[in-house]
Chain A
Amino acid sequence: SAVISQKPSRDICQRGTSLTIQCQVDSQVTMMFWYRQQPGQSLTLIATANQGSEATYESGFVIDKFPISRPNLTFSTLTVSNMSPEDSSIYLCSVEGQAGGYTFGSGTRLTVV
């Protein structure tokens, strides 16, 4: 299965600032997915990032708040903009594996103060 490198692994940020999370995959993939895992909760899909087109956002998530880039088939970034304490979560990227199932990055633990 694909190996995903995600960074930073954690960060503490001031409210009102922005953080960009990077996700690098060791193989070319068509779709990359960004999830949020709020404290004590399950994973929620933020958006799907396809190379060469705009990301597709799930209900409740908007591009202005979570802009996504997908410059090539192995890399994507998610930016959390104008952060507030409610954005404190773990953010994960994911790709679909060749044999099915989804592989997840190690996550970025974001704390907004």
Chain B
Amino acid sequence: NAGVTQTPKFRILKIGQSMTLQCTQDMNHNYMYWYRQDPGMGLKLIYYSVGAGITDKGEVPNGYNVSRSTTEDFPLRLELAAPSQTSVYFCASSYGVINEKLFFGSGTQLSVL
């Protein structure tokens, strides 16, 4: 059972570079989320999606973009990487109704230098 799969696990970017963090789930979940966790801090919601073709901003969306062309995939795009985007990124999913627990990916540690 794969669950939520995030790639890559680690990445170092130079300022101004772009990259896409991949997130795939095989549980047919409607809801998917991207969070970032800064060192010693809690998780902040970047973007979320309630189903294919539908996305919405979270608390800290600036500098990021998402798309949800399929139920399974929810990639997170960084267009012009900045040092402030150094963080650990977690993708999560849930079936959809309000009371469902979240399944998290293992995280992507991103450093922008």
The answer to whether A and B interact is no
B interface vs A, CB < 8 Å? none
